[in-house]
Amino acid sequence: EIVLTQSPGTLSVSPGEKATLSCRASQSLPTNYIAWYQQKPGQPPRLLMYGASTRATGIPDRFSGSGSGTDFTLTISRLEPEDFAVYHCHQYGSSPTFGQGTKLEIK
């Protein structure tokens, strides 16, 4: 099983600033089958990014993804109030797994 470790567990950032979230895989993902989801309380996850760096439909360009191999990053530039949520990374290969999540909170 591929274990995904997200860091930090909680990230405190001010609106208008940049947030950088990390996701590290226990083994290399040559196909870059990494997605990022945003989840707000009481809501299901919302797909933000797939293929490590491709934004899903309707996702604003302040969200960007990067990385390859075992290290992946989600960057949110110019944080808006609605961006404060929990973010999950997800590898969608033949035995899918999720990271434990990073809570992005207002500083």
d(CA 79, CA 100): 22
Other Cβ atoms within 10 Å of 45 Cβ, number: 18
Q: Select 61 or 94, whichever has its Cβ closest to another protein.
A: 94
Closest approach, Cβ 78 to another protein, in A, equals 25
Closest by Cα among 74, 50, 52 to 63: 74
Question: Are residues 8 and 24 in contact, defined by beta-carbon separation less than 8 angstroms?
Answer: no
Q: Select 67 or 99, whichever has its Cβ closest to another protein.
A: 99
Closest approach, Cβ 14 to another protein, in A, equals 26
Q: Which residues bind another protein (CB under 8 A)?
A: 1, 31, 33, 35, 37, 43-47, 50, 56-57, 88, 90, 92-101
The DSSP letter of residue 18 is: -
Q: Select 67 or 101, whichever has its Cβ closest to another protein.
A: 101
